[in-house]
Structure 1
Amino acid sequence: MFDVAFQGLLQVFLPHNFLVLFIGVFMGIVFGALPGLTATMGLALLVPFTFTMSPAAGLIMLAGIYVGAMYGDAIPAVLINTPGTPAAIATTFDGFPLAQKGMAQHGLVAAAVASAFGSLVANMVLAAAAPPLAEVSLQFGPPEYFWLGIFGLTIISTLSTGNMFKGFLAGTIGMLLSAVGMADLGGDIRLTFGFPELQGGIELIVALIGFFCLPEILSSVIGQRRAAYTEEASNPKLSVVWEVIKSLLGRPWLLIRSSIIGTVVGFAPGAGGNIASMVSYNEACRWDKHPEEYGKGTIKGVAASEAANSAMAPGSLIPLLTLGIPGSPPAAVILGALMLHGMKPGAELFSEHATVTFAFIMGLLVAAFLVTIIGSFGSFVFARIINIPSRYLAPAIVFMTVLGSYAIRNNMLDVWIMFIFGIIGYVSSKLKFHPAPIVLGLILGPFVEEGLVQSMLAGKAEGGTLSYMVLRPISGVLIALCLMSLLWPAYAAWRAKHRKPDDVCQVPLEKLEASDEE
């Protein structure tokens, strides 16, 4: 295997292949950074161009696009509080507060380094352990997806520190929004209010733009912010790059844990980077000795989110390459590219097409290093965008939000929904409702609903719904995680009550000094 992997690496560094990889990474960053232009869209648009290339070159370019997009979505998340893709929702929690304090470069560099680390770990797993992990992915059935959704909802307890009731109320609203449109099981039309365009449901990107981006623009326009879009001007420096890298490398367990979470969620077909980043952020906050820093602007929160969603990308390719089951929408597009070049997923990929397959895997690996270089040094340019006065920046952002909302389905109703959600988000922020639980409910609602309905139907055939949902091994693990997540706030309160005064972090966030983790 090592010989074939080395041959694949040599394929990547052929001048022509390396050039298309670089172009792919750059294009991926662009697609990820523009709200509405996702990694799936970028891959789908550029797959036809690979038909004229060799299989190795075509797949290497797609690898660059995929990895680049997983970092690119962090740029608007940090700068304007708008996730470029749903996978960067958790990145906004600490990325934008960093930008508000004039530390946008810190957030961008942290995202680049963490993205590269997560991709590196996941690619090592992909190359070494794809077949056995693919067998595990086949064990995910309706009960496992139901409990995965419930576990995701328990994260609300972390996102709603200070008022648990408001958090779970917001999560309930999000789940109601997820029910809009035609039910996947049964075909019932629900909560469309006479609008045929809503039969397809509420588009997630539209909700993200509305709840996260527009409230900040409204705050700026109404005059509650200073002339600049953020509270402090950003002043990029070369020393920041090395400072952030040193700080993150001093927290290896944070990066490793987040990467493992992203990989595991990735090879569960259909889970996606949004769940990976949310779960990773929750666990980072849970196990840190200073959870009070999260949500106020810390590179640890950015790193946890970005390492997980970048690790999800190679993780989603594990069931694809071994079993032909795409673990995410972008992986489904890559499946089409494989078929386009006459390559059938399964054992054939690792025997007859081993060199091309490992060239693709090594392309993912090298793309991670390119993301670190482009992202870290590109932060000098990106970070200065935030210094533009709001009277110039806000109209440009509004134009991008309208364009991104309309481009998803070419539907003007999506634009109006985005504006409605923006107003709701602005009002709710004044009432101390955080938008994250609403979006989390919107994401996880279909997992919970479909998993429950399918489990009830299958449970009747298996002799009992309760035993079918509870006694399966992976379900048992997920149930234990749910209980631990629900009980954790009580334990955290007890730990805070008995913490010694010296244990409280007194170091300003701006100095980015590493704190020990449990």
Structure 2
Amino acid sequence: MEVISQFSAVLAGIFSSQIILYIMLGAVIGTLIAVLPGIGGLSGVALLLPFTFGLDPYTAIAFLLATLAVTSTADSIPAILFGVPGTPASMVTVLDGHPMAKRGEAGRAMGAAFTSSVLGGIFGAAVLLATIPFIMPVMMRATSPELLGLVIFGLAMVAAVSGQSLARGIGAACLGVLLAYIGQDPQTATLRWTFGQVYLWDGVGILLVALGIYALPELVDMAILNTRIAQTEKENSSALNGEWQGVKDALSHPWLMTKSSGISAVLGVVPAIGAAVIPWLVYAYVSATTRGKSQFGNGDVRGVIAVESSNNATVGGALLPTLTFGIPGSAPMALILGGLLLHGIAPGPDMLVGKIDFTYMMIATIVVANIFGGFLAFGLTRWLAKLVFVRSSILVPIMLSIVMIGAVQSSRSWGDVIAVILIGILGWLMKRARWSRAPFFLAFILAPLVDRYFHISMNIHGWDWVARPFVWPMLVGSLLFVVMLMLRRFFQARRRNEDRAPAQWRVEFRPSADLLFSVGGLAVTFAAFVTSLAWTFRAGILPQIVSGLGIACCVIALVTCVLHRRVPDAATATEGNFDIETDFGQMTQKTVSWRAGLFLGALCVMCGLGWLIGLPVALIGFVLLAMIAMGERPIQAFVICVATSVVGWALFEKFLRLSWPNPLYQLFGG
């Protein structure tokens, strides 16, 4: 009761001071930033940090935290409408939100997302408030072995989002881990797969992988189809007025929201995991334990509700280690930590004793910002949902330019542009080959944590870390989870086929995207294994284990491509693929490949021109020519291009003040 009384007093103080105005301003800015793919909460807080120098500590931190909290709500807008995640945290929203938009249910998806985000953020803050006295002792005892056990359990969740083929899912995860290991090994300073490029010494940024593996493939498919996102005409019922149905959907699943946000708030306390990982874990758990789970990944509103409840709840959880230990619970929280230090506030245990009112103020800010941001985003739903009926010839070039602008903010170098294009090609090939991209991205995020905690644990405890009281149950639980999932899939397939005629096996070699990708994956993992043998033991042990497992999975996937099991009268199973599927209708594979090659080729040409004359100029030219090539009238394309260029100049150059990689002519004093 004392906690509730103190928190209520702080909440009342917020509404009676200027802090509420800055919270509202931060919510507006956070909403605008979140709609732009690649900018996100991290860049948004970084850009706003200098503007807080003249504010008092309470107001400054409330302003920054409100911006960050609302980003987790509004980033679902581009994820649902275009299949382009506004931030890495909203990538899971794409799985069910974008298929709903394609069915003409964008309004319903966004209504459910915003409602779940608001309620999830509030509930997550409440869970944080209630569990602070109980979580603190556990956090104080957690060391590297315990964190390693938790991360390994997170990797085991890869099996739950692997789609129909566990071998392809684990193989995709191995490719994600190998991509994460590119760069200088932090333990031994060994350069791993940098190919002589200084740019790769720091590895590949998570933002580039997020945009490349999910955003670019969806834009390529939209360009191939060259139609509107929504193929139906349900403008009045589903797309524009469906937001209230989405609210009803969210409110009709209170246990789903409670479970998702509660788990996320607790997991958010663990340092370094953050909102990029936790929604995947929650989605994997919910999809594996919910009745009627076969629709997850195919446009199930329950998937949107679970993920959006999780996204906002992690903000509150990540706040606790930031305040109490000075250890950022996520990447954006590192900037909040910087803001605290800039304003003379030293994180530590005193934040829960002598400065408890400041802690309550930050939690209250999350609650207020979520409510205001939810109403703001909800008010935009009706207008934003209309975008699904805009022609792809207009949307695709503009969205692609925004994605590229967001990508170059990773390190402000041309390597960012090249990396996002190459990863985008990989993502498109994975999508065509039906290799789920969810395990790839989840493994990419968790791999550096495994590397870090494994070596620290080995240095301190040797192999005895495995026998620690908290660690071995997590390892055993991870193994049991994978085994039980395999057994359940086996018995489910057996029950489906027991009433049918016996299956017939045949060997048939036929070229397919799956076959080609399996061969490519086998070549990559084998080459990775061979090259890692030249490294020291500490630098090469984990890459060798992962590449060896990847070789085995790719061989299994290759065998299944050649050895076909034909079940008479069996329906084609599409459930549980955990990825977005594009229906190209009567379009042949040759036509799809040709159009994809043209689009990606034009993108590479744009990259080369940008290197010569500057990226902003090249993007303007690309937008204009792409619109004309996709069927827009030249005059109309010119007007739209000029209008978007003016808006982009005002937003990116004057307001956000983004920096660009230097073109070639500047290197010669031009």
Q: Which whole-Å deviations, capped at 9, do the CAs of 1:298-339 have from their partners, x for residues lacking one?
A: 111112112112111110111222333321122222222222
Following the alignment from structure 1 to structure 2, what is the Cα–Cα distance between the partners of residues 236 and 4?
47
Q: Which residue of 1 aligns with 2:120?
A: 118
Alignment of 1:367-382 (within 5 A): 367-382=369-384
Is 1:280 aligned with 2:302?
Answer: no
Q: Which residue of 2 aligns with 1:407?
A: 409
- Residues 236/486 of structure 1: CA separation in 2 closer, same or farther (3 Å cut): farther
Q: Which residue of 2 aligns with 1:468?
A: 465
- Residues 236/105 of structure 1: CA separation in 2 closer, same or farther (3 Å cut): farther
Please state whether the residue corresponding to 2:242 is helix, strand or coil: helix
Alignment of 1:211-222 (within 5 A): 211-222=213-224
Of stretches 272-281 and 32-41 in structure 1, the one that deviates more from structure 2 is: 32-41
* 8 A Cα contact 1:73 1:84, kept in partner: yes
1:129 Cα offset (Å) = 2.7
Q: Which residue of 2 aligns with 1:167?
A: 169
Alignment of 1:464-503 (within 5 A): 465=463, 467-473=464-470, 476-477=473-474, 479-491=476-488, 494=491
Q: Which whole-Å deviations, capped at 9, do the CAs of 1:224-274 have from their partners, x for residues lacking one?
A: x25213433563667533322222222222111111221122100111112
Q: Which residue of 2 aligns with 1:40?
A: 42
1:181 Cα offset (Å) = 0.6
Candidates 411, 435, 438, aligned match of 2:437: 435
Query: Larger C-alpha radius of gyration, 1 or 2?
Result: 2
Alignment of 1:265-304 (within 5 A): 265-304=267-306
- Residues 445/97 of structure 1: CA separation in 2 closer, same or farther (3 Å cut): same
- Residues 165/115 of structure 1: CA separation in 2 closer, same or farther (3 Å cut): same
Please state whether the residue corresponding to 2:50 is helix, strand or coil: helix
Following the alignment from structure 1 to structure 2, what is the Cα–Cα distance between the partners of residues 146 and 412?
35
> Identity over the aligned pairs, expressed in percent?
28
Is 1:245 aligned with 2:247?
Answer: yes
Of stretches 153-162 and 436-445 in structure 1, the one that deviates more from structure 2 is: 153-162
Q: Which ranges in structure 1 are unaligned for 5 or more consecutive residues?
A: 502-518
* 8 A Cα contact 1:105 1:234, kept in partner: no
* 8 A Cα contact 1:94 1:297, kept in partner: yes
- Residues 336/234 of structure 1: CA separation in 2 closer, same or farther (3 Å cut): farther
Alignment of 1:15-414 (within 5 A): 16-222=18-224, 225=225, 227-232=227-232, 235=235, 240-414=242-416
Q: Which whole-Å deviations, capped at 9, do the CAs of 1:417-473 have from their partners, x for residues lacking one?
A: 11112222222222222222221221121122222222222223xxxx1x4224332
- Residues 468/110 of structure 1: CA separation in 2 closer, same or farther (3 Å cut): same
Q: Which whole-Å deviations, capped at 9, do the CAs of 1:388-426 have from their partners, x for residues lacking one?
A: 101111100111111111122101111111111222222
* 8 A Cα contact 1:78 1:104, kept in partner: yes
Dislocated runs of 4+, deviation >4 Å: 236-239, 495-499
1:296 Cα offset (Å) = 0.2
1:486 Cα offset (Å) = 4.0
Which has the higher relative contact order, 1 or 2, with Cα contacts under 8 A spaced 6 or more apart? 1
Q: Which residue of 2 aligns with 1:417?
A: 419
Following the alignment from structure 1 to structure 2, what is the Cα–Cα distance between the partners of residues 117 and 431?
38
Following the alignment from structure 2 to structure 1, what is the Cα–Cα distance between the partners of residues 149 and 241?
45
Q: Which whole-Å deviations, capped at 9, do the CAs of 1:185-240 have from their partners, x for residues lacking one?
A: 22111111111101110111111211212222222323xx2521343356366753
1:279 Cα offset (Å) = 0.6
- Residues 192/101 of structure 1: CA separation in 2 closer, same or farther (3 Å cut): same
Please state whether the residue corresponding to 1:408 is helix, strand or coil: coil
* 8 A Cα contact 1:102 1:231, kept in partner: yes
Following the alignment from structure 2 to structure 1, what is the Cα–Cα distance between the partners of residues 483 and 163?
13
Q: Which residue of 1 aligns with 2:447?
A: 445
Following the alignment from structure 2 to structure 1, what is the Cα–Cα distance between the partners of residues 205 and 233?
34
Please state whether the residue corresponding to 1:385 is helix, strand or coil: helix
Following the alignment from structure 1 to structure 2, what is the Cα–Cα distance between the partners of residues 376 and 227?
27
Following the alignment from structure 1 to structure 2, what is the Cα–Cα distance between the partners of residues 475 and 376?
46
Q: Which residue of 2 aligns with 1:504?
A: none
1:489 Cα offset (Å) = 4.2
Following the alignment from structure 2 to structure 1, what is the Cα–Cα distance between the partners of residues 345 and 446?
34
Following the alignment from structure 1 to structure 2, what is the Cα–Cα distance between the partners of residues 13 and 350?
23
Q: Which residue of 2 aligns with 1:506?
A: none
Please state whether the residue corresponding to 1:342 is helix, strand or coil: coil
1:172 Cα offset (Å) = 0.9
User: TM-score when scaled to structure 2?
Assistant: 0.70
Aligned length in residues: 494
- Residues 450/322 of structure 1: CA separation in 2 closer, same or farther (3 Å cut): closer
Of stretches 50-59 and 311-320 in structure 1, the one that deviates more from structure 2 is: 50-59
* 8 A Cα contact 2:106 2:242, kept in partner: no
Of stretches 409-418 and 319-328 in structure 1, the one that deviates more from structure 2 is: 319-328
Q: Which ranges in structure 2 are unaligned for 5 or more consecutive residues?
A: 500-670
* 8 A Cα contact 1:261 1:279, kept in partner: no
Following the alignment from structure 2 to structure 1, what is the Cα–Cα distance between the partners of residues 249 and 9?
35
* 8 A Cα contact 1:104 1:234, kept in partner: no
Of stretches 432-441 and 235-244 in structure 1, the one that deviates more from structure 2 is: 235-244
